[in-house]
Structure 1
Amino acid sequence: MSISNMKSMSALVQLSASSDDTTNYIEMPLVQGMGFVTSVYHGDLIPEIGSLVGIDSFTQEVVSDSRSTKRSNILSNILKYRVTLYSGSEWLIYVTLPSSSDSFELTISDTSIVGSAAIDGLIIQSVVAPEDSSLETYYDQSAGMYVTGADVKGSVSDDSAEYSFVYSTEGSSESGNPIIFALPHHVQSLTSDCYAAALDIQLPSTTKGNMTAFLTNELVMSETLETSISFLPWSQTMTGSLSYTSEQLNLIVNAANSELNVDIAETVASLDSTYSSGKVIDKYAYILLVVSEIIQDEEATNSTLSALKDAFTPFLENKQYYPFMYDQKFKGVTSTASNDGDTGADYGSGYYNDHHFHYGYYVHAAAVVGYIDKKLGGTWAEDNKDWVNALIRDVANPSEDDTYFPVSRMFDWFQGHSWAAGLFASGDGKNEESTSEDYNFAYAMKMWGNVIGDGSMESRGSLMLSVMSRAMNMYFYYKSDNTVEPSDILPNKVSGIFFENKVTYTTYFGSPDEHPEYVHGIHMLPITPASSLIRIPSYVEEEWDDQISTFIDDVDSGWTGILRLNQALYDASTSYSFFSSDSWTDTYLDNGQSRTWSLAFSAGVMNAS
């Protein structure tokens, strides 16, 4: 088996008896959304189709319309068969002959379906038969044509955006179109013109509900971008502008003075992982935002900005604990932690695990430093643009013209979110454990694009956020009215680890039986101005009432602060009361969270809501 033509939405699998045989082989294009499983036979191979559960019945179908015996819904060189397995499932098989004069048939032989001859260029397509047999006409109309790939295209105008999957095809069909399937979040955002191609055929996906069939070669979705999200606190609950009382400002000042009473550069340099270093440098970037934009303390701004530049210096010079390298095989910027053979070192970053989680913190911190520095007349962002852009290109390169990185390594435009498993094999496919660190990267990319004047990058980040908001509220965050995921997992309120093939209510570092704060909190951190776009207030309230309220009083760790700042997304008043309490202790802070930002965020949202 060999795999070629690997793109962001497709790959071509080739099967042959040996790698040296370039004449006799089967081609199987795998494309996200494909309507048929398609095999193209080359050389002298005789088709044989089997089933692990066994074949109960097998018949050839005569295709005609209701008015005559003319084969109006299917091309004349296509044969149609119906297969019923012992499991009860029913399949349709379409055989497209290179020429209508070719002599060929499929028959049962023992436990397999076997072709009568070897025909070069023979196409065999299979699909689950719809429960309503009248809908088979759409498969008849699209048989003979198959998708081989898809391009993602997009455009933005002000706060409106469209993105599309444009499918490339081979073969011919009666309708002139292939069948493709769309996920629920696609269907919800399809343009009206595109929705007109919808069929009444649905097919269960593995973990994302029912897919809907379309007789078309293009899906076009529209999204509205939230242009008010920027550097400072924001929530969907806000109806007014950001403001603070003098009492709140005094408390924020005291918190900032306390938390800035450290050597920031040394604190960051002392950490032994790309992930932790990123979280901590971004923690101080948020404090810089507060002292510059909210407290407006010029002296503190200058000193904190200088300290953060110093903290970035080892990374810009590639002298951090685990230096980066450019991997020529898989074309990416990776940690060198695994170069001695330890695949799990640095959270697997050397094997592309969690790159969007890790790099999002650096990109946002760089955006803040660049933003404040630029206001003060500096050129830090321009001077270090290539380094930051390399991290973004590693995760979210938008173009095949950039040959140093694959297109969209982490973010899956079809699925509506990123995958985090890197190169590690998994029997249940790729997975994602932290949705919040996923959209944190998109938010960071958006803000960095804003700072360096790259409008396209900023727009891509905004569009990714809108797509994730729609997808994550269907597949990862479970309100009681969710109609996509199975009803028996909705009470969990959150997915846990979301695989391609299963949803597991747990984390890699602890179970909800002992630490329920883990499985909920990992989908919250960090709380940023983008959080409320994804974690919508009504969902956050449901999750709090149904789950978090049942265990929050038992949590006494850095997860406490994460849960409580998340509370500000629907109840900022109670959240602020927690962070401003006289009984406050820094035990409640995760290493990437500051009391300064927590006070500024919760108070700002509370006052403006």
Structure 2
Amino acid sequence: MDFLAPRSPAPQYKDLIVAQLKKDLAIRANLTVSDYYFTGKEFHKYALLCLLAEYYRETVELDQCIKTVEAGFEILITRKNTNALRYDTTWFGLVSSAGLGPSQELADFGNSYYNDHHYHWGYFIQAGAIIARLDPSYLPRIRDWVEGLIRDASNPSPLDTSFPQFRYFDWFSGHSWSQGLFESADGKDQESTSEEINFHYGIALWGLATQSLTLEGLGRLMLGTAKRTTQTYFLMDSNNKVMPEKIIGNKVTGIFFENKAEYTTWFGAKPEFIHGIQMIPCTPITEEIRLEKFVEEEWTTILSKIVQDAVPEWKSLLYMNYAIINRDEAFTQLLSVPLDNVFPAGILQSPFFNKDAPKYLNYGGAVIGHEITHGFDDSGRQFDKDGNRISWWTPETIDRFIERKTCILNGNQTQGENIADNGGIKESFYAYKKWAGAQENVDKKLPGLTKYSAEQMFFINYGQIWCSKMTDANVLNRILTGVHSPGEFRGGALELELAFINTNANALGISIEINPNALALLALELINA
């Protein structure tokens, strides 16, 4: 067991891998910690990219990558994130502050109720171990924070009274349990064994990076124990003599409760979900858990039959798993997986979008226009249509872009998002006018708002999407570390939108000769009144 996989990457793929590495590192990292689960994945991803940069001796990219991850850790260490960890004196643990309010127990995946800490923390611990190995000078800075996560989820010492001993790991059962403080009629459960493995692997790597034989030994012991139970109860080949035959045919257990086993997941029953949740994340330890005999049987009997119709994000995961037994074919197939431009269901909700809402409200959400504009902001403009980082604009265009972008914000941190807001509202309004002018499209007016035209309602809804209420600490954190401006300023994109000024000038009886910015602000005030 080490930081690197037992098999080295094939030499013929080096150029492709390095090119993709550079593309990935050129994308602005999102390490501002919106929640601990998905942000942990971001930390983990960038840390693995750092390892890859070191392996291929890409020193410029390695230095950039290390600085990116360390900047993310600084937000955590200094508690600048909005859901900073707090010590709970009732159950003696570290919990996200996102779920401490009334009826907020499900926030951050139930983190404040101790759900899945071993899944969440594993990503951060492993990222910390990698950075400590690559930049030992940073170890003293993150040591207490990372070891706090280890103590919270798997404290090995009975003398450490700040945390319970082995909160999640059940030595009798040989694996960890989820659910935390949540009640369950079927008892505790284990869903993602691969994320449990990732947690133990992270502890072992942290022990290696810090030269702590205690933590390295702890990680190795739990890893070996969980490996055996995973290969018995969750990843079942044809030699399995423990699980019922009808379950063995599924090849994997989706959710393993204390009193039953089910072929499903908490978020859906698609085969790629059920099998994929036992794969994520793919790391150097994956091949030691997912043995060739099992992978061959799983692929032949199930995955090869469903992979073509699988959700693209999960299809990539299935092919990464297939690489254990057929690296060349898997690599070829992986390159063919389309990078779909999709919008998650979470953003396509009111006030951004509602399938029953008038079109002027949905277009006023401006989501698609915003994201498209990112292809032409200060970062996106550096890449061509195929994702290659090359200069494809003329020098004259670049000069005009640099000159005009200072009208939006003379700075770098939020510039990309502000440019996207400005372009997004323009594109969305243009698209709405094109739709409204075709085939006698007429939107119904809403009760109580009949005095406003469709165009005015478009802009009213755009202003509404940025309505928010934040604590002073959250506002300060957003200003200091966020790539998005606070909502009240994002509505300021309308100040640069001539269509908004023209639309509201007539309704307000104000001459268009007036200062455009002042008029826009006045119109916003009247609309919000």
Do Structure 1 and Structure 2 share a fold, with TM-score over 0.5?
Answer: yes
Give the secondary structure class of the aligned counterpart of 2:71: helix
2:263: which partner in 1?
505
The answer on 1:308 being equivalent to 2:80 is: no
- 1:275-328 Cα distance to aligned partner (Å, 9 max, x none): 0100011111111100112x1011111111111111111111112231100001
2:194: which partner in 1?
436
Q: 1:290 aligns with which of 48, 52, 66?
A: 52
Q: Is the 8 A contact 1:443 1:530 kept in 2?
A: yes
Q: 2:25 aligns with which of 249, 252, 260?
A: 260
1:230: which partner in 2?
2
1:586: which partner in 2?
339
The answer on 1:492 being equivalent to 2:231 is: no
Q: Is the 8 A contact 2:312 2:337 kept in 1?
A: no
Q: TM-score, normalised by structure 1?
A: 0.55
Q: After TM superposition, what 4+ stretches of structure 1 lie above 4 angstroms from structure 2?
A: none
1:318: which partner in 2?
79
Structure 2 residue ranges without an equivalent (≥5): 345-529
The answer on 1:425 being equivalent to 2:183 is: yes
Q: Is the 8 A contact 1:360 1:442 kept in 2?
A: yes
Shift of 1:584: 4.9
Shift of 1:586: 3.3
User: What is the number of equivalent residue pairs in this alignment?
Assistant: 342
CA distance in 1, matches of 2:231, 2:289: 7
Bigger RCO (CA 8 Å, 6+ sep) = 1
Shift of 1:343: 1.0
- 1:181-238 Cα distance to aligned partner (Å, 9 max, x none): xxxxxxxxxxxxxxxxxxxxxxxxxxxxxxxxxxxxxxxxxxxxxxxx211122xxx5
Identical-residue share of aligned pairs (%):
37
CA distance in 2, matches of 1:523, 1:567: 14
| Alignment of structure 1 residues 109-124 onto 2, 5 Å | none
| Alignment of structure 1 residues 119-518 onto 2, 5 Å | 229-234=1-6, 238=7, 242=8, 244-245=10-11, 247-264=12-29, 267-269=30-32, 272-293=34-55, 295-341=56-102, 342-374=104-136, 379-511=137-269, 515-518=270-273
Give the secondary structure class of the aligned counterpart of 1:340: coil
Shift of 1:339: 0.9
1:86: which partner in 2?
none
Shift of 1:253: 1.4
CA distance in 1, matches of 2:323, 2:135: 30
Shift of 1:534: 1.6
1:576: which partner in 2?
331
1:542: which partner in 2?
297
- The one-letter code of the counterpart of 1:317 is T
Structure 1 residue ranges without an equivalent (≥5): 1-228, 592-609
- The one-letter code of the counterpart of 2:2 is S
CA distance in 1, matches of 2:127, 2:230: 25
2:401: which partner in 1?
none
- 1:108-149 Cα distance to aligned partner (Å, 9 max, x none): xxxxxxxxxxxxxxxxxxxxxxxxxxxxxxxxxxxxxxxxxx
Give the secondary structure class of the aligned counterpart of 1:255: helix
Shift of 1:475: 1.0
1:559: which partner in 2?
314
CA distance in 2, matches of 1:474, 1:588: 39
Structure with the bigger percentage of helix: 2
CA distance in 1, matches of 2:289, 2:17: 27
CA distance in 2, matches of 1:573, 1:413: 39
CA distance in 1, matches of 2:321, 2:337: 17
Give the secondary structure class of the aligned counterpart of 2:217: helix
| Alignment of structure 1 residues 23-172 onto 2, 5 Å | none
Shift of 1:480: 1.7
- The one-letter code of the counterpart of 1:305 is I
CA distance in 2, matches of 1:569, 1:346: 33
CA distance in 2, matches of 1:510, 1:531: 24
Give the secondary structure class of the aligned counterpart of 1:367: helix
CA distance in 1, matches of 2:84, 2:9: 42
Q: Is the 8 A contact 1:282 1:362 kept in 2?
A: yes
Shift of 1:399: 1.3
CA distance in 1, matches of 2:341, 2:249: 27
CA distance in 2, matches of 1:559, 1:263: 23
Give the secondary structure class of the aligned counterpart of 1:547: helix
Give the secondary structure class of the aligned counterpart of 2:135: helix
- 1:441-480 Cα distance to aligned partner (Å, 9 max, x none): 0001100111011011111111111111111111111212
CA distance in 2, matches of 1:473, 1:233: 20
- 1:223-274 Cα distance to aligned partner (Å, 9 max, x none): xxxxxx211122xxx5xxx3642x422111110111111222xx121x5211
